[in-house]
Amino acid sequence: MARAVAVVHLRGEVSDARHAKVLEALSRLLPKVGVEGPGLFACDLRGTERLLGPAERVGERIVATLERVKIPCAVGIAERPFAARVAAERAPAGGVVRIRPGEERAFLAMLPLSALPLEEESRDELALLGIRTVGAFADLDSGAVLDRFGRAVALTHALARGQDAGEVRGMPPRRRIAARRAWDTPVAAREQLLFILKSLLDGMAAELAQEGIAALRIDARFEREDAPPLRIERVVLPPTSDASALLRSVRWGLEEVPGADGIGQVVGARVEVTEVEPARGRQIGLFAPDGANEDEAMAVARYLRSRLGPDAVVRARVSDADAALAEREAEWEEAVS
């Protein structure tokens, strides 16, 4: 399945308890669930088609699941979270609205500017220019918008054009999960630095496990004697509370540090988990269920795709074993989107 995000919009009163209940229910159903706001959840549907079926069916299942516990909602589905969110907010309770890929901009075009996250002042200024719809706003030149209104409005302009980043963000942890250490003798070797980080990450992994959460994004900052601090931000896929998986993610980040000088002379490290998801109780290990191994294999595939580019990490499917032309025997597709 190409990229698809389902945004779930709860109707009626949204208490903390109801919000937490829905988050737990969605996290049991889907691999990646982010929180957009109280009673508003974004679910990344990439990679779920094989197990859960088409996106619309997933949306219907979400509505049915929440209806059973008397929580009305609506679901919007699109390639980008913003269009999916607008669709969810405007759909009737119990509705599932799918915006087809490439139609986000057209969908948003007829809506009033109030559908966009704009300061009232900016909205008023645009109205003075005769711009009252999302479509009219999207038609403006992006450079001109940046010059006239600044970066915040330029980002909103990208939303209007259906160009938001499209990533589902996890939720921040309830309490800070971070560790830091400083040392006197600079460390320049990657393996030595990783050895130090291992003990930091062991402690953080234990905290994650205790809270019943898994790290989705980690932020590592290294103080250096001879250079500005080095910062590495990693999205951890699949989300995990496993210390060796966290260390592996940081290792890959360090390996991507450009330049022949490597990491420099490191004298301190601080690591923080900035986004989490509810843990799913999966153990990744030598004899883990194959679903867990496949998750890890796909994480490696995603990493290689990011390094090697399009058409470099692929999967084949035999489509016609009797094809007259050999090149038509199989179809190839990107292994990860």
CB closer to another protein out of 150 and 195: 195
CB closer to another protein out of 147 and 256: 256
In the complex, minimum distance from the CB of residue 185 to another protein, in angstroms, rounded to a whole number: 16
CB closer to another protein out of 202 and 211: 202
| Of the candidate residues 195, 206, 225, 233, the single one contacting another protein (CB under 8 A) | 195
In the complex, minimum distance from the CB of residue 69 to another protein, in angstroms, rounded to a whole number: 34
In the complex, minimum distance from the CB of residue 201 to another protein, in angstroms, rounded to a whole number: 11
* Residue from 5, 23, 116, 137 nearest 69 by CA: 23
> How many residues make up the chain in this entry?
337
Per CB under 8 A, the segment of 71-79, 86-94, 268-276, 309-317 that binds another protein is 309-317
| Of the candidate residues 111, 146, 171, 304, the single one contacting another protein (CB under 8 A) | 304
Report the distance separating Cα 49 and Cα 47, nearest Å.
6
Contact set for another protein, span 274-293 (CB under 8 A):
284-288, 290, 292-293
* Contact of 159 with 205, CB cutoff 8 Å: no
Exposure of 255 in the CB half-sphere (CA atoms within 13 A): 10
* Residue from 106, 110, 140, 143 nearest 125 by CA: 140
Contact set for another protein, span 197-226 (CB under 8 A):
198-199
Contact between 329 and another protein (CB under 8 A)?
yes
* Residue from 253, 198, 191, 261 nearest 228 by CA: 261
Count residues near another protein (CB under 8 A): 47
Contact between 296 and another protein (CB under 8 A)?
yes
Strands 73-78 and 96-98 turn out to be parallel
Rg (CA), the chain: 23
CB closer to another protein out of 12 and 285: 285
CB closer to another protein out of 158 and 288: 288
* Contact of 250 with 218, CB cutoff 8 Å: yes
* Strand order, beta sheet including 213-224: 177-187, 266-278, 213-224, 230-240
In the complex, minimum distance from the CB of residue 23 to another protein, in angstroms, rounded to a whole number: 28
Report the distance separating Cα 10 and Cα 305, nearest Å.
36
- Binding residues (CB under 8 A) for another protein: these are 191, 194-195, 198-199, 244-245, 247-248, 252, 284-288, 290, 292-301, 303-304, 307-308, 311-318, 321, 324-327, 329-330, 332, 335
